[in-house]
Amino acid sequence: MIWNETMECMSREDMRKLQGIRLKKTVERVYHNCEPYRKRMQEKGITPTDIQTIDDIVKLPFTSKKDLRDYYPFGLLSSPMSEIVRLQASSGTTGKPIVVGYTRNDLNIWGEVGARCFTAYGLGKNDVVQVSYGYGLFTGGLGAHGAVETIGGAVIPMSSGNTEKQIMLMHDFGAVGLACTPSYALYLADALLDSGIPREEFKLKVGAFGAEPWTEGMRKELEEKLGIKAYDLYGLTEIIGPGVGHECQHQNGTHLCEDHFYPEIVHPETGEPVPPGEMGELVFSTITKDGMPLLRFRTRDLTSLDYSVCTCGRTSVRMGRILGRCDDMLIIRGVNVFPSQVESVICEIPQLEPHYLLIVDRINNLDTFEVQVEMKEDFYSDEVSKMLDLRKQIAHRLQNVLGISPDVKLVEPRSIERSQGKAKRVIDKRIFK
């Protein structure tokens, strides 16, 4: 099912026209209502009349996370406080939180894009959906909540935590959809097993997972453990929250709601556009928002874009899996390492659980790199020689993928701390040295 066929299946030509019109309006809005933007544009020697089509977007200055912090809390609003009806803040994974203000119209847009996501997952008004993203300043909970209400589904505003109760309500209320981070879904999968309630008694069919990077391997794990189809849900507070993009039933890329959020891919260091299809930093301009529109916002997320039409019929551009944020990249002995690369290796090895931790340190001026990973219950009691073999095998595969060989430490099942929101998978002790 497609929620908004006109927008989701529009021809490329019409879409670019529409994006141009909307961008022009947004640029006028920020130029007249938001002083920092006006100043930036004046410094670059441009006025709103320089923006006529979507191609003109490259003339505009970038906006960074730092700008949001510098103008904290309300310096980037383009609407007066009398028009603002909601404030949300980023979860602050990296540094001080940033604040976003929404008008009534912005909340409607959020509901609309969220509805596209949950409809694409196959959910509708007859379905009960459990929202186990955190509620509060973090956009996850309220964002997914608004999406389910917009499609007319019955939302369980569960929030994260209280895991036993999560399982009880999921069972008793017959939740068909579950929205949470992939790492919390994994936690819930274990809790479901522990509950002793047979899986057939659950109605769960669909997962709407996001707010942190996850791999194809993790998808398989979650689909098997929960007996569901697991879909990607992408978003970020600065742009609106969850609902910026979603997978469809074909699970071959994350469709972006590009009639609201115009995407570009640039080189993370130079800011220059990269050739089509290549990996780089994702940049978004909001082209319909009123409260706090952002132009060319540097997400720090690394991915690529595919403009081919999807088998589902949607023409909207698809983004590849997010490798991670530029900020998540570890440089260990000169080699670039993303936690998601380690995850993809771990998920391929049947003896392992997808629970892992990367520990980086510097001892005698040399970087040390340890990967702790949990073993599956059935394998843990194995003989020592087998464990040693397995460690070697994991180190070897990681060496192939990363170009660097970590110390692999096999740890007991369930010994690595579980996350109820965004997982923390890296401990970099070098920061304190």
Which residues bind to ligand ADP, rule: CB under 6 A? 90-94, 138, 210-213, 232-237, 299, 301, 322, 325
Contact region with Zn ion (CB under 5 A), list: 41-49, 219-227, 313-321, 381-389? 313-321
What's the closest the beta carbon of residue 65 comes to ligand ADP, in angstroms?
A: 8
Nearer to ligand ADP, 92 or 313 (CB): 92
312 binds, among Zn ion, ligand ADP, none (CB under 5 to 8 A by kind): Zn ion
91 binds, among Zn ion, ligand ADP, none (CB under 5 to 8 A by kind): ligand ADP
Count residues binding Zn ion (CB under 5 A).
4
Q: What's the Rg (C-alpha) of the chain?
A: 22
67 binds, among Zn ion, ligand ADP, none (CB under 5 to 8 A by kind): none
Contacts for 44 with CB less than 8 Å, ≥ 6 apart: 59, 60, 61
Among candidates 265, 288, 284, 290, which has minimal Cα distance to 275? 265
Out of 189, 218, 222, 248, the only residue in the binding site for Zn ion (CB under 5 A) is 248
213 binds, among ligand ADP, Zn ion, none (CB under 5 to 8 A by kind): ligand ADP
Among candidates 330, 354, 348, 320, which has minimal Cα distance to 427? 330
300 and 281 Cβ atoms separated by less than 8 Å: yes
Quote the tokens at residue 154: 């019955």
Nearer to Zn ion, 187 or 209 (CB): 209
CA 194 → CA 50, 81, 172, 190, 343, distances in Å?
A: 61, 48, 16, 6, 24
What's the closest the beta carbon of residue 243 comes to ligand ADP, in angstroms?
A: 10
Quote the tokens at residue 105: 């119209």
CA 371 → CA 155, 183, 408, distances in Å?
A: 39, 18, 5
Round to whole Å and give the CA distance between 380 and 382. 5
What's the closest the beta carbon of residue 399 comes to ligand ADP, in angstroms?
A: 26
3-state secondary structure 299-354: EEEEECEECCCCCCCCCCCEECCCCEEHHHCEEECCEEECHHHHHHHHHHCCCEEE
Nearer to Zn ion, 74 or 307 (CB): 307
Contact region with Zn ion (CB under 5 A), list: 169-177, 186-194, 199-207, 307-315? 307-315
Nearer to Zn ion, 256 or 371 (CB): 256
322 binds, among ligand ADP, Zn ion, none (CB under 5 to 8 A by kind): ligand ADP
Out of 34, 76, 236, 310, the only residue in the binding site for Zn ion (CB under 5 A) is 310
| Site for Zn ion contains 218 (CB under 5 A) | no
Nearer to Zn ion, 76 or 117 (CB): 117
Q: Strands 229-236 and 206-210: what pairing?
A: parallel
128 binds, among ligand ADP, Zn ion, none (CB under 5 to 8 A by kind): none
Nearer to ligand ADP, 339 or 406 (CB): 339
14 and 42 Cβ atoms separated by less than 8 Å: no
98 and 90 Cβ atoms separated by less than 8 Å: yes
90 binds, among ligand ADP, Zn ion, none (CB under 5 to 8 A by kind): ligand ADP
Instruction: Please count the other Cβ atoms lying within 10 Å of the Cβ belonging to residue 6.
Output: 9
310 binds, among Zn ion, ligand ADP, none (CB under 5 to 8 A by kind): Zn ion
Q: Could you give the 3-state DSSP secondary structure of residue 132?
A: coil
Could you list the residues that contact Zn ion (CB under 5 A)? 248, 310, 312, 314
